[in-house]
Structure 1
Amino acid sequence: MSSSSILVPNLPNDIAVQCIARIPRSFHPKLALVCRSWHSLITSPHFFSTRSHLKCTEQFLYISIRNRYHSFEWFVYHISENPSKLFRLPPFPSPATNFTCVMLGPLLFVLGGSVKRIPTSTVWIYDARINRWEIGPEMRASRDCATSAVLNGKIYVLGGCSVDPWAEVFDPGLGSWAPVPRRVIFRRSNWRWISRSVVLGGKLFAFVGAGGVVFDQENLSWGSLPEDFHDDFYFAWIRRAPVIDGILYCFQSGGHKIMGYDEEEDKWKLLQVIGEELPSGVNSTLVNVEGRLCLLWEEGDGESELMEIFCAVIEVGKDSSGELQGSVVWSEDILRIPRGSSLCHCLQLEL
């Protein structure tokens, strides 16, 4: 090994990596400026796998805001910091709207959408390790108002188009998209409009029109949703719905209540939250952060030119009778946005 590749003088590189990996994420941009070897290390998959092995990872929320001019701004909220910190990401390099997005490892994938009301197949990827947007492998179909999810390390995108492939999958190992066999027939008018998808019990659940489908990756087969999914809670899936300990959480349609679908019992239950009144689900979104339910919502008084984005973390679980119970751990305002803007996406990343 040449002297230029030595990370810390008089210290074996494997020990040096473990030392550097323990340094908080907020210092990494400065550490990357030390030398080329450190920059190469801090942006490498090995470095982040070492952080994970050492249990040094930190929690981040990636939040998109659509402004009054219908363009998007992305922010990252460092939820593990005390106090928590919010940073603006580099400008999103696309004018697309109505896109879908997922996290895969340290990468944020923004898929499709429409540009001047024309659907696009373009994929943009934000790499959290190097704080940079890059163009990604183009999808096979142009998609507007699609939905997406990660299942066993692969990205699935469904709907948003009226032609095949109605569903396709991205394999990061191959770096390309492939069609997903579709052995279920939907009414043609419903092919495009997919309100939400989620991975539950190792299967991909998606809503199509007033019903929905379940995709079994192992058998490459499609089936119908469980019967209790066809009730009034369908409309609560407009925003992202996280799964925590086998319970799918989402807002009840038009109300202030969070419901949980218990897969084992095939039953919806009310989450009883102790301590605080929850906001309406209309302009709110939910995400799983280290097994806790994280709630983000908009709030304004109707007179100010600014609205506030609030964040609350809720400890959730079952009580002795099997009912869902939660308690608010903390809540705070994290961002002020101009009136006319809206909270659109929130994704969690452990880095």
Structure 2
Amino acid sequence: MDRVLHPPLVDSTACLCRVDTGLKTVAGVSRYVPGTKRCLQPDIKPSIHPTRNKPARGDRSRNQFPLLPGLPDDLAIACLIRVQRAEHRKLRLVCKRWHHLLASNFFYSLRKNLGIAEEWIYVVKRDRDGKISWHAFDPVYQVWQPLPPVPKEYSGALGFGCAVLNGCHLYMFGGKDPLKGSMRRAIFYNARTNKWNRAPDMLRRRQFFGTCVINNCLYVAGGESEGVHQCLRSAEVYDPNKNRWSFISDMSTGMVPFIGVVYEGKWFLKGLGSHRQVLSEVYQPETDSWYPVYDGMVSGWRNPSTSLNGQLYALDCKDGCKLRVYDEGTDSWSKHIDSKMHLGNSRAMEAAALVPLSGKLCIIRNNMSISLVDVSKFEDLKGSSAEHLWETIAGKGQFKTLVTNIWSSLAGRNRLKSHIVHCQVLQA
């Protein structure tokens, strides 16, 4: 009598998919055993404790301690998002759940949607020894907040770029290392986690180049590179959604930009060519094209500038106590906003940056004094004085008079100890 062969019993909770010892893979089963179906759990291995079931993710969350005792988590989050940004560093230290919450995009998207996200001013400085440091200013409490140190590769770098993406990521990229020369490196600081991270390297080594942000994409162009005796014409863009750099069209002429601004969706650059001649070009992202520009905006454009609510502004004096406004109708810088209180021409009082901050213009000087200008009320003045539009929010050195500057120069005490190389605004 023939023996009847029965297939081996298979435990569904610890299936190894071995119908036959000669079959090495689940895919092999379909070839050798007609009508067989591929196992739904091919990667599950036998458990040491097969009768012990792990709790589901939802069950584990129910066993966690609440964010705030006595409150559901949704109400606790509604309370935590309203805490001032200056206290977030302390909140992250309370427990792991608070740390993960405050490091999440969800937490800050709620703050942004409710209109309670705060903007801080980040200043990157170089001291007289060439070392880079940086500082964050909180306009609400009007104090400078502590920050983690700049990564070693940028502690003494020259000619590097600085820009903000996603509102909360401050990027440093390119530049020249004192020992290694021109760099392609890129790093970024996350204002939500208070930490530095690596980003993909640029496609080309470059230093002293132009940079801007359009539609949350980072553009760089021109500059210099060691071993190249001419100014660079190449340009590239970084898309944070794709997390990669791509080349864009080359500039018409290579240059080392010394000033740049985004206005009406176009990137304007002004700099020096290979023969030290002054050049100006504009880039249109929609057509990926460069072309020279010689209009009244560029010809009268010399100092740091920025656009706000469709209007273009620029510093008009060394101490930043007077602004110029571009008039598109006349193609000239014919309008001015004057504070009527000038601080002198010392290097310490020199205005290094002009950036938008909470709907106003922010002027930052080398001595870390900061002024705000409410330009939204400028059109309502109709020829009247504009002094009341100005406000001092960081007053270090603000009240140093012209006479004091003269005496400091005569005494040899006016040598600049440090100066600002970049200034950005981050939101969290």
Q: How does 1:187-336 map to 2 (within 5 A)?
A: 191-209=254-272, 210-225=278-293, 227-231=295-299, 233-237=300-304, 241-252=305-316, 257-263=322-328, 265-277=330-342, 280=345, 283-284=350-351, 285-298=353-366, 308-316=367-375, 317-319=378-380, 325=386, 327-334=389-396
Partner of 1:340: 417
Equivalent position amino acid for 2:302 in 1: F
Question: Greater RCO between the two (CA within 8 Å, min separation 6)?
Answer: 1
1:86 aligns with 2:86: no
Distance 2:75 2:307 in 1: 37
TM-score, scaled relative to structure 1: 0.84
Give CA deviations for 1:59-91 in whole Å, capped at 9, x if unaligned. Answer: 20000110111111000001122xx11024222
Partner of 1:301: none
Higher mean C-alpha displacement, 256-265 vs 70-79? 256-265
Distance 2:358 2:211 in 1: 21
Instruction: Give yes or no for contact 2:252–2:290 (8 Å, CA) kept in 1.
Output: no
Distance 2:296 2:199 in 1: 38
Residue of structure 2 aligned with 1:109, choices 167, 171, 184: 171
Instruction: Report the alpha carbon displacement of residue 248 of structure 1 after superposing the two structures with TM.
Output: 2.0
Distance 2:98 2:385 in 1: 47
Residue of structure 2 aligned with 1:67, choices 127, 132, 143: 127
Instruction: Give yes or no for contact 1:111–1:124 (8 Å, CA) kept in 2.
Output: yes
After superposition, the Cα gap between the structure-2 partners of 1:243 and 1:32, relative to the gap in structure 1 and judged at 3 Å, is: same
Partner of 1:48: 108
1:20 aligns with 2:80: yes
Instruction: Report the alpha carbon displacement of residue 322 of structure 1 after superposing the two structures with TM.
Output: 8.7
Instruction: Give yes or no for contact 2:324–2:337 (8 Å, CA) kept in 1.
Output: no
Give CA deviations for 1:16-74 in whole Å, capped at 9, x if unaligned. Answer: 32221111111111211222221111011111111011111112000011011111100
Secondary structure of the structure 2 residue equivalent to 1:195:
strand
Count of aligned pairs: 331
Instruction: Give yes or no for contact 1:64–1:343 (8 Å, CA) kept in 2.
Output: yes
Partner of 1:303: none
Equivalent position amino acid for 1:178 in 2: S
After superposition, the Cα gap between the structure-2 partners of 1:335 and 1:38, relative to the gap in structure 1 and judged at 3 Å, is: farther
Distance 1:167 1:195 in 2: 16
Root-mean-square deviation (CA), in Å?
A: 2.9
Structure 1 unaligned blocks of 5 or more: 299-307
Give percent identity, aligned residues only: 28
Distance 1:194 1:339 in 2: 24
Partner of 1:135: 198
Partner of 1:176: 244
Instruction: Report the alpha carbon displacement of residue 121 of structure 1 after superposing the two structures with TM.
Output: 0.9
Distance 1:313 1:254 in 2: 16
Instruction: Report the alpha carbon displacement of residue 173 of structure 1 after superposing the two structures with TM.
Output: 0.6
Residue of structure 2 aligned with 1:76, choices 115, 136, 155: 136
Equivalent position amino acid for 2:267 in 1: L
Instruction: Report the alpha carbon displacement of residue 211 of structure 1 after superposing the two structures with TM.
Output: 3.0
Instruction: Report the alpha carbon displacement of residue 5 of structure 1 after superposing the two structures with TM.
Output: 7.4
Distance 2:215 2:384 in 1: 30
Structure 2 unaligned blocks of 5 or more: 1-57, 225-229, 273-277, 399-413
Give CA deviations for 1:171-217 in whole Å, capped at 9, x if unaligned. Answer: 111111111123x521xxxx240112221112222224323222221
Equivalent position amino acid for 1:349 in 2: L
Instruction: Give yes or no for contact 2:371–2:391 (8 Å, CA) kept in 1.
Output: yes
Give CA deviations for 1:140-196 in whole Å, capped at 9, x if unaligned. Answer: 0111101211100111111123587711111111111111123x521xxxx240112
Instruction: Give yes or no for contact 2:139–2:393 (8 Å, CA) kept in 1.
Output: no
Higher mean C-alpha displacement, 114-123 vs 147-156? 114-123
Distance 1:97 1:110 in 2: 11
Partner of 1:37: 97
Partner of 1:156: 219
Higher mean C-alpha displacement, 10-19 vs 194-203? 10-19
Higher mean C-alpha displacement, 220-229 vs 252-261? 252-261
After superposition, the Cα gap between the structure-2 partners of 1:229 and 1:247, relative to the gap in structure 1 and judged at 3 Å, is: same
Partner of 1:302: none
Equivalent position amino acid for 2:313 in 1: Y
Distance 1:59 1:116 in 2: 33
Which structure is larger by alpha-carbon Rg, 1 or 2? 2
Instruction: Report the alpha carbon displacement of residue 339 of structure 1 after superposing the two structures with TM.
Output: 4.2
TM-score, scaled relative to structure 2: 0.70
